[in-house]
């Protein structure tokens, strides 16, 4: 497309590359602390454990199960390309593994949203336009797969 700036595309760096490559394969990763007496999982991915500050943290594949913690229906967003997508449901979900995650709920009418409802991870492939953040696997098309959630 054009050169319009976009605000929906993640930038992969050396650390988050594994996360985005897994997302391209429809796998959701989180981080798990291996420190003695901790073992906490966290999201978004950090290089250290936000609970005990250990750097002994590894990638782990999440089950993709989550429940709805809170949400907000967005009717206006001036950052491209979100303006074309409104209304959409911005949400925080609680992963079965514990961490909460900012995401978007798809495939569910607003009036059916309920705190605690069961959700499953899904992935939306977004065209990168000029910005090649990650070359995903899948069907060989460039793009970034972004985790979203839908009713289980
Ligand atoms: Zn820890």
Mean pLDDT in residue range 129-152:
64
- Domain total in the chain: 1
Please tell me the predicted confidence (pLDDT) of residue 2. 52
Whether residue 12 lies inside any domain: the answer is no
Distance 101 CA to ligand 1 centre (A): 18
Q: Is 5 within a domain?
A: no
Task: Assess if residue 44 is contained within a domain.
Answer: yes
- Per-residue pLDDT at 111 exceeds 90: yes
In a domain, 6, yes or no: no
User: pLDDT grade, residue 84 (50/70/90)?
Assistant: confident
DSSP conformational letter for 52: T
Closest by CA to 29, choosing from 38, 16, 40, 39, is 16
Residue 2 located in a structural domain: no
Q: Give phi and psi for 89, each to the nearest 5.
A: -105, 105
Secondary-structure percent of the chain, ordered helix, strand, coil, rounded to 5: 10, 35, 55
Average pLDDT (98-118) is 96
Mean pLDDT of the residues in the chain: 87
d(C-alpha 110, C-alpha 87), whole Å:
10
Answer whether residue 33 shows pLDDT above 60: yes
Query: Quick check: is 9 in a domain?
Result: no
User: Domain of 55?
Assistant: 17-151
104 CA from centroid of ligand 1 (Å): 27
Tokens coding 84: 């074309």
- Distance between Cα 30 and ligand 1 center (Å): 13
Give residue 149's pLDDT.
97
Q: How confident is the model at residue 83 (pLDDT cuts 50, 70, 90)?
A: confident
Domain contains 121: yes
Ligand 1 center–CA 57 separation, angstroms: 8
Share of the chain above pLDDT 70, in %: 86
> Is 3 a member of any domain?
no
């Amino acid at each position: 497309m054009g050169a319009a700036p976009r605000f929906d595309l993640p930038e992969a760096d050396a650390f988050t590359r594994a996360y985005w490559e897994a997302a391209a394969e429809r796998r959701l990763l989180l981080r798990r602390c291996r420190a003695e007496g901790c073992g906490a999982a966290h999201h978004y991915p950090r290089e250290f454990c936000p609970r005990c500050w250990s750097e002994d943290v590894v990638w782990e594949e999440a089950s993709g199960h989550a429940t709805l913690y809170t949400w907000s229906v967005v009717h206006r967003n001036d950052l491209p390309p979100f303006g074309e997508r409104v209304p959409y449901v911005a949400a925080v979900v609680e992963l079965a593994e514990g961490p909460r995650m900012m995401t978007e709920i798809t495939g569910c009418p607003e009036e059916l949203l309920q705190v605690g409802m069961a959700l499953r991870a899904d992935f939306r492939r977004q065209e990168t336009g000029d910005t090649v953040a990650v070359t995903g696997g899948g069907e060989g098309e460039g793009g970034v797969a972004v985790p979203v959630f839908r009713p289980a």
